[in-house]
Amino acid sequence: MKKMKKQPFLWGSATAAYQCEGAWNLEGKGLGEWDVFSHESPLNINGATGDVSCDFYHHYEEDIRMMKEGGQNSYRFSLSWCRILPEGRGRVNEQGIAFYNRVIDCCLKHGLEPNVTLFHYDLPQALAQQGGWANRDILDTFEEYAKVCFEAFGDRVKLWVTINEPKYYAYCSNMVGNYPPNHHVDFNRYFKTVYHEAVASAKAVKIYHDLQLGGEIGIVHDSSNVEVAPQTKEPERIKAIADLFYNRVILDGAILGELPGGLIPWLQENDIDSSYIRFEDTLTLAQGKIDFLGLNVYNRFYITDYTEGETEVFHNNKGAGSTAKEGIRIKNWYETTIDPTTKRNLWGREIYPRCMLNTLMEIKERYGEIPVYITENGHGCYETPDENGMVQDDERIEMMQGYIDFMFKAMEAGCDVRGYYAWSTMDLYSWVNGYEKRYGLVRVDFDNNCRRIPKKSYFWYQKLIQEHQK
Ligand code: NOJ
């Protein structure tokens, strides 16, 4: 791992291209797989799309200025691959490059460090049609895209992320089936996708280091710290499996530069395809170790012994409108369970601030002194503005304060945390939930020209930052 420069702690907020930009068909942008899914798929139950969303494409100056005024010194956002390379490879869309140049320059003008992700779920449709992440060609295509971005923006962007939540993206696309290409409980495709993401990410890291642009590059993992319920009969065995499945499959490659020991025989024992794993990739992984780890921290995996029944994924996409449970049962491995002592949100997800501390400590124990950014943390809920259009989001404030307190505890215990990003900068499109679930520090009035109105949490965050920058 490269020695990183110590910089001031970064306090920021985050968005992702498809979720906020809008301008889905403007200025040469190609089609993305989410454009097609949201327009055409019967699985897009609520019919919401990111066509306009909060129209960041035309409001970026206002959003960046608000971040600055809110005391933030960094902005995490992603690039839309198909805005830059409309067919996924080959022809570059200069208007797409010009847009991101404007965004980056605006960040720098306002003193915000840009933290830029290359891939945040939105695959160009042209590549999706060729098998997407299940096609090995993606390794070279991703490298080509990464190089275009590093060469265009690397003089000003010094913090890069290759892929956002590779495991969660693979999980939703191939196990839950609620993200395109909507495969359900397909272990073969899940592992193949994760594997290609891990190798593609390593290729991008290597090329970034070779270009010697003087910045740092990492990957963002959805922190999935696994905890085993009391009275579980085989706690060690099932924790090891769950850790492999959720965490090590990405983190060992990215941090240690090698596949998790025992992965291939384990896949074979479980009748899961491993034929795509090539010896030459060992070198790619070894040469592509990240400089820092980004962690999106929301919750933990709370598991117990497998009881009976076929593998099944339970997913609540509809919040209060649904009684569906949330979790997974994997035949002969384990199943998720509910801790009766903790709270859950309306989507059935546990609210568990302590997972911030537990995740950071576990990463430190397993991988040693790796610099970490909390690249996302936040709270999604229904919201109703008051008569002045203000959202009094005390629930969000309480939640985020809890997670931040645990982050400080981890830092006191020696974890090298370098920054924290609230998810999200403003209200935006939520994958599959559309616009009913809000995450922003700033409210977006979608019925009124996407007017921005800071929420109570925006001012709380501003104050918190001021206090910690003293
Ligand atoms: C993680 C993802 O990176 C982001 O896109 C998503 O909207 C948030 N979690 C909230 O679910």
| Model pLDDT, residue 7 | 81
Q: How far is the CA of 121 from the centre of ligand 1 (A)?
A: 10
Q: Which of 21, 143, 165, 216 is catalytic?
A: 165
| Model pLDDT, residue 5 | 61
Going by alpha carbons, the residue nearest to atom 1 of ligand 1 is: 296
Residue 6 has pLDDT above 70, yes or no: no
Higher pLDDT, 440 or 316: 440
| Model pLDDT, residue 27 | 97
Residue 86 has pLDDT above 70, yes or no: yes
Q: How far is the CA of 133 from the centre of ligand 1 (A)?
A: 19
Query: Residues 425-440: pLDDT tens digits?
Result: 999 999 988 999 999 9
Q: State the closest ligand 1 atom to the C-alpha of 164, by its place in the atom list counted from 1.
A: 3
Mean pLDDT of 22-40: 98
Q: CB-based burial of residue 232 (10 Å sphere; 0-12 exposed, 13-18 middle, 19+ buried)? A: middle
Beta bridge partners of 117: 78, 161
| Model pLDDT, residue 130 | 98
Best mutation site among 21, 317, 430 for ligand 1 pocket (most ligand atoms within 8 Å of CB): 430
Residue 151 appears among annotated catalytic residues: no
Weakest mean pLDDT among 99-103, 257-261, 276-280, 344-348: 344-348
| Model pLDDT, residue 291 | 98
pLDDT confidence tier of residue 82, bands split at 50, 70 and 90: very high
What is the value of ipTM here, to two decimals?
A: 0.98
| Model pLDDT, residue 349 | 83
Residues within a 6 A CB radius of ligand 1? 16, 19, 164-165, 296, 376, 423, 430-431
Residue 376 appears among annotated catalytic residues: yes
Residue 28 has pLDDT above 70, yes or no: yes
Going by alpha carbons, the residue nearest to atom 8 of ligand 1 is: 423
Domain boundaries along the sequence of the chain: 10-298+349-468
Residue 325 has pLDDT above 80, yes or no: no
Quick one: tokens of 368?
């040693």
| Model pLDDT, residue 319 | 66
- Rounded Cα distance between 253 and 264, Å, is 14
> Percent of the chain beyond pLDDT 90?
91
Query: Residues 295-305: pLDDT tens digits?
Result: 999 999 999 99
Residue 359 has pLDDT above 60, yes or no: yes
Residue 294 has pLDDT above 70, yes or no: yes
Best mutation site among 76, 119, 296, 403 for ligand 1 pocket (most ligand atoms within 8 Å of CB): 296
| Model pLDDT, residue 316 | 74
State the average pLDDT for the chain. Answer: 95
Q: How far is the CA of 393 from the centre of ligand 1 (A)?
A: 19
| Model pLDDT, residue 45 | 78
| Model pLDDT, residue 77 | 99
Class of domain 10-298+349-468: alpha beta
In terms of pTM, does the model score above 0.95? yes
Quick one: tokens of 261?
């020991």
> 344 φ, ψ to 5°?
-130, 150
Residue 90 has pLDDT above 90, yes or no: yes
